[in-house]
A and B are shown apart, each in its own frame.
Chain A
Amino acid sequence: MKSARRQKYLGGLFVNGALLLLCLLWTIPTLGLFVSSFRSRLDIQSSGWWNIFPHQAWETTAVLDPREMGLDASGVMSVEGAQATFEELRAGVTTPDGKRLLWVGNRRLGNIEVQEQKLTVSWDFSLTNYQQVLTGKDFEFQNPDGTIEHIKGDDMTGAFLNSLAVAVPSTIIPILIAAFAAYAFAWMRFPGRRWLFIMVVGLLVVPLQIALGPILSDYNALNLNGTFLAVWLAHAGFGLALATYLLYNYISTLPRETLESAFMDGASHFTVFTRLILPLSVPALASFAIFQFLWVWNDYLVALIFLGGNPEFEVVTMRLADIVGSRGNDWHLLTAGAFVSMILPLTVFISLQRFFVRGLLAGSVKG
């Protein structure tokens, strides 16, 4: 009996331990970026973000002036019980009691720093990176050697607003259109109903790449390129099949009696749809809305093709990809920029996760 309990305890330990390991593995990438976005540009470049955890590091405890001590930099010097030449001191010399000596500066004017291993944390956090990535102003940095460097910031505020202007209608428009269609498929009889729905099912897996070329040339002919309308319609077009399919699955299962009694009272299809079906379908609509919102907000390809020619309407993913391409080593901009691009989807996702999961499960019937 006792051993059974022991086994259960060990089993629980194993399960939770393995789970903890996996969770850490999954969280560390994002955590590293998140922490780094608050560290200064110099810190990011000179040390790993994990230095925010307590760790052993060399810390300067005293500065010795070799001229005052009467040392001759051209020969072997005796400092703190260690014998070393200038070259050796430049590279760092360990004294018998575990300290480190480091010559900083040139042979004639430099000083010797005495360093000791100490437990340190580097907790110098600020919002400067976010200011830079959001305001678009130029910023001054002082390098360790005293030179001043001008670094351009980035204007992600505009891109953020553009993303909002793209994502909100691109979410609501296809849902509205799909809900009308789903209602018609579920509750109206008309010629071609079956074949049209077969088209919907068939289009579920068609890769959108197939459409980019022809649609772009249509947009050119209609002078639509680089407008919000172009992207909304494209997202509506690429999301409609799944939206119609999912909403049909839901709307067709609503109780028939409710609708029939409404028709008895003389309500038209339009009234039934707007007053009865839409409110009843809120859970399904919400699930798909989250789905579509995340998809559109995170989309890069569609925006690149249809908004690419108009830098004014650049969305966050495009902006971020631009920074990656042109300033791939400006980690202070990249880290903060990545979080600016993620903040809204993450908030939506965390606060509405329940709906999202429900939507995923409903959609899982088909790929």
Chain B
Amino acid sequence: MQTVGAKEVGEVGVGGRLIAWLGRLLVAIVIPAIAFGVIYAGFIFLRESDAPKWIIALVAIVWGVGGVALLYTLFNGLVERLPDPWQARLQPFVFVGPAVAIMAWYLAVPTVRTFWLSLFGVDGPPEEAFDLSLGLPGLINGFRTLIESSVGIDNYVSLFAQRLLTDAMRNNVLWMIFGSTFSVISGLLIAVLADRSRFERLAKSLIFLPMAISFVGAGVIWKFIYAVRPADQPQIGVLNALLTSLGGQPNSWFAWTEIIPWNSLFLIVIVIWLQTGFAMVLFSAALKGIPGELLEAGRVDGAKEVQIFFRIMVPYIQGTIVTVWTTIVIFTLKIFDVVWVMTGGQFGTEVIATQFYRQRFVARDSGVGSAVAIILLLAVIPVMIYNLRQFREQEAF
């Protein structure tokens, strides 16, 4: 495109070249300006408009998706108008820039910012400390204010001293151990069984289905299972109906405060129900990758099916098991929705993420809330290091 344009310009002479240059300048400035104008107008429309819901939804979709595509085309168009060496230098950043900028803004930089906030009190660092208009003395003064208002590691100390996090951490450990173990075991069991059944597809689809259900939806589903009514009325929850038909007294399961912390298990079941499908799919694919001769050789040697499972299958898919296990452990570490919707953290079911939400957004304590978030981050760092090491090992990059 570039070369063709240049040739044409060359043929028309100086005046034409000037017009072409002006034209380009116009294109380079006016079109982006119009584009930004349209995007901004869309933004205002979405924020202020009281048009019917479905129109807003439609405009939102077209505006959001179209806007991004438009921005890329524009910036790329601008860069392609530059002389060649500059184009080669800048174009990669047009491609990679937005992704890197967004990731940096939304995940990388916030880790540092949250740590910074965790060193200050309820309202965060004093704003006047960053007033640059006072020049160097102001800056030094501001620095002093910062140091003075910092609470150091007090937030972290109080997390443990006031036992804000001890229950949550204990519960999270339960979540991580039981949630991941049972998801892995049941996923593996179902994968092995399904592999030998004629109804493999159907069975796998049924087990997999809960993956499409939100935690809030799953919360409703299981609340209905655990529903409890007074003993003299018919029970509408499956579990209590079973219990009363066997002669027991109806129970409030996850609100069963006498067995704290084990009542969390009734919530953990929900995540096992949701995540088994995920584990099953990965295991199923891994099992199908075991060479048939290996299994055949085991059978010829007279190994029982159970032995084949533990001696051949499990060691063969070890890598997948570890991956699934870590994925679910990280997942349960961050668990929030289920607990928040089912109990709101009552009955001793608090976890780290609900405590984070409570401190940061309900109690509006920027310092303690950020400290809780940092604890969450620290917990995933081993996995992050493992990932990075794995990445460095595959030298293909």
State the A residues within 8 Å of B (CB).
11-12, 15-16, 18-19, 22-23, 26-30, 32-33, 36, 44-50, 157-158, 161-162, 164-165, 168-169, 172-173, 176-178, 180-181, 183-185, 188-190, 193-194, 196-215, 218, 227-229, 232-234, 236-238, 240-241, 244, 266, 268-270, 273, 294, 297-301, 305, 317, 320-321, 324-325, 328, 331, 334-335, 337-338, 341-342, 345-346, 348-350, 353, 357, 360-361, 364-367
Contacts and interface: CB of A to CB of B under 8 A. Distances in A.
Nearest to A347: B212
Given A201-B387, A210-B377, A367-B327, 13 more contacts: A11-B305, A29-B221, A48-B235, A157-B53, A162-B53, A169-B65, A188-B96, A202-B387, A236-B102, A300-B216, A342-B217, A357-B281, A360-B282
Contact of A366 (B96, B353, B387): B387
Interface stretch (B19-27, B131-139, B144-152, B202-210): B202-210
Given A19-B190, A32-B238, A168-B65, A197 B397 contact: yes
Interface string B100-139: 1011111111110110010000000000000000000000
**Which 6 interchain pairs have the tightest Cβ spacing?**
A237-B106, A169-B64, A298-B214, A181-B99, A349-B212, A190-B92
Interface residues on B, range: 35 or more
B273 A29 contact: yes
Interface stretch (B157-165, B191-199, B292-300): B191-199
B255 to A, nearest CB: 12
A367 B326 contact: yes
B346 interface: no
B114 A184 contact: no
Given A206-B384, A364-B320, A237 B103 contact: yes
Contacts of B205: 350, 353
Contacts of A238: 106-107
B99 A178 contact: yes
B313 interface: no
Contact of A203 (B89, B98, B108, B236): B108
Contacts of B356: 209
A305 B237 CA distance: 32
Contacts of A213: 110, 113-114, 117, 360, 366, 369-370, 373
A187 B180 CA distance: 38
Contact of A214 (B92, B95, B113): B113
B222 interface: yes
A203 B109 CA distance: 11
Nearest to A22: B190
B384 A331 contact: no
A207 B333 contact: yes
B216 A364 contact: no
Nearest to B213: A342
30 contacts: A22-B189, A23-B206, A26-B276, A157-B53, A180-B94, A180-B96, A180-B99, A193-B92, A199-B103, A200-B103, A206-B380, A212-B361, A213-B360, A214-B117, A227-B46, A232-B64, A236-B102, A238-B106, A240-B103, A241-B103, A268-B80, A298-B214, A305-B361, A317-B216, A324-B220, A325-B344, A341-B216, A350-B205, A364-B320, A366-B323
Nearest to B206: A23
B219 interface: yes
Which of A18, A32, A266 gathers the greatest number of chain B CB atoms within 10 Å?
Answer: A32
Contact of B107 (A164, A241, A299, A360): A241
A362 to B, nearest CB: 11
Residues of A contacting B: mostly: helix
Contacts of A48: 234-238, 241
A224 B237 CA distance: 43
Given A172-B65, A241-B103, A342-B212, A199 B369 contact: no
B88 to A, nearest CB: 9
Interface string B338-372: 00110010000000010011001100001001100
Contact of B110 (A164, A178, A211, A338): A211
A46 to B, nearest CB: 6
Contacts of B337: 300-301, 317
Interface stretch (B68-76, B167-175, B257-265): B68-76
Contacts of B234: 46-48
Residues of B contacting A: mostly: helix
Which of A16, A47, A207, A353 gathers the greatest number of chain B CB atoms within 10 Å?
Answer: A207
Contacts of B64: 168-169, 172-173, 228-229, 232
A361 B220 contact: no
B36 interface: no
Nearest to A203: B107
Contact of A161 (B53, B89, B281, B333): B53
Given A331-B236, A360-B281, A177 B214 contact: no
B60 A165 contact: yes
Interface in B57-94: 57, 60-61, 64-65, 68-69, 72-73, 76, 80, 89, 91-94
Nearest to B338: A300
A16 B387 contact: no
A168 B61 contact: yes
Contacts of A324: 216, 219-220, 223, 341
A298 B215 contact: yes
A222 B380 CA distance: 31
A341 B107 contact: no
A68 B230 CA distance: 37
A109 B235 CA distance: 31
Nearest to B198: A16
B212 A348 contact: yes
Nearest to A166: B60
B373 A173 contact: no
B103 A367 contact: no
Contact of B377 (A206, A212, A237): A206
Contacts of A162: 53, 57
A349 B281 CA distance: 14
B106 A233 contact: yes
B208 A237 contact: no
B12 interface: no
B208 A353 contact: yes
A12 B278 CA distance: 25
Contact of B238 (A50, A236, A297, A360): A50
A210 B237 CA distance: 38
Contacts of B203: 19, 22-23
B341 A300 contact: yes
Given A33-B224, A270-B76, A321-B341, A196 B207 contact: no
Interface string B213-255: 1111101111111010000001111100100000000000000
